[in-house]
Amino acid sequence: MAEKISFKLNGKPTSLTVDGDRMLLWVLRTDLGLTGTKYGCGKALCGACTVVVDGRAVRSCVVPVRSVNGKEVLTIEGLAKNGKLHPIQEAFVKHDALQCGFCTPGMILNAYSLLLRNPQPTREEIIQSMNNNLCRCGAHLRIIQAIESAAQEMKGAR
């Protein structure tokens, strides 16, 4: 059933009338035109669809859009501010922490959420936190390095 859903999307108040049972992923990609969030499996098993809701990384393919009503949603499109890349994005570029790039938005937002709650994670904590995000090209080593380097870069920044 169509209902009105309101939330903050990448810092901007957003309202739409939509079937609240539909998954956030598809509402973002179709109704809202934000295609940076990717479909990889539809079962919360790969992490390509990861977005951040109220500071926590979630799998948008299994999150009904109703559940983000009144919350703050961050997608990959909202991470760079005024054309300046976020330090995690910078680090992914600098460390070549990607190949095909399809898992990359989910990787970055999962790392973003990790660094919010644990600004100086150990390597082991990074690995544990990223372990359920899949990359098929094998950029894992670089992704770990990029997150370590971003954490270092962001030290004291907030």
Partner 1 sequence: MKEDEFKVSECDYNDGLYPLSRREFLQSIGGGIIILFTVSDAPTAEASRSSKKERPDFNAYLRIAEDGRVTCFTGKVELGQGVMTSLAQTLADELDVPLKSVDMVMGDTALCPYDAGTWGSMTTPYFGPVLRAAGAEARAVLIGLAAVRLKVPKDQLDVKDGVVFDRTRKGRKVTYAQLAQGKRIERRLEQEPQVKSVSELNIIGKPHNRIDAVEKVTGKAKYTGDIRIPGMVCAKVLRPPAHGAKLRSLDTSAVDETEGFQVVRDGDLVAVLHKNPDEAENALAKIKAEYDVPEARFDDKSVFDYFIDNAADGRVVEKGGDIESGHKLAQDVVEETYLDSYVSHAPIETHTALAQFEDSKVTVWASTQTPFGLQRQLTRELKIPIESVRVIAPFVGGGFGGKISNGQAIQAVKLAKIAKKPVQLVWSRADEFFYDTFRPAAVVKIKSGLTDSGKIVSWDYNIYGMGNRGAQMFYNVPHHRTTVSRELRSGENMHPIGTGAWRAPDNNTNSFARESHIDVMANRAGMDPLEFRLNNLTDERMRGVLKAAAEKFGWTPAKAPSGRGFGIACGSDVNVPVALIAEVKVDKQTGGVQVKRVVCGIDLGLVINPEGAKLQVEGGITMGMGYALTEEVHFEGGRILDLSFGTYKLPRFSWVPQIETVLIKADDSPSKGGGEPPIICVGGVIANAIYDATGARLLQMPMTPERIKQAL
Residues that bind partner 1 (CB under 8 A): 22-23, 25-26, 30-31, 33-43, 45-46, 48, 75-77, 79-80, 85, 89, 92-94, 96, 98-105, 108, 126-128, 130-144
Min dist CB 107 to partner 1, Å, is 9
Q: How far apart are CA 61 and CA 65, in angstroms?
A: 10
- Nearer residue to partner 1 within complex by CB, 64 or 69: 64
Q: How far apart are CA 47 and CA 51, in angstroms?
A: 9
Nearest distance from C-beta of residue 83 to partner 1, angstroms: 10
C-alpha distances out from residue 22 to 7, 61, 64, 118, Å: 15, 9, 5, 32
Q: Are strands 50-53 and 12-19 parallel, antiparallel or unpaired?
A: unpaired
Cα torsion for 101, 11, 149, 95, to the nearest 10°?
20
Comparing CB distances to partner 1, the nearer of 121 and 156 is 121
- Residue 3's identity, in one-letter code, is E
- What's the min distance (Å) between Cβ of 108 and partner 1? 6
Nearer to partner 1, 37 or 113 (CB): 37
Nearest distance from C-beta of residue 21 to partner 1, angstroms: 9
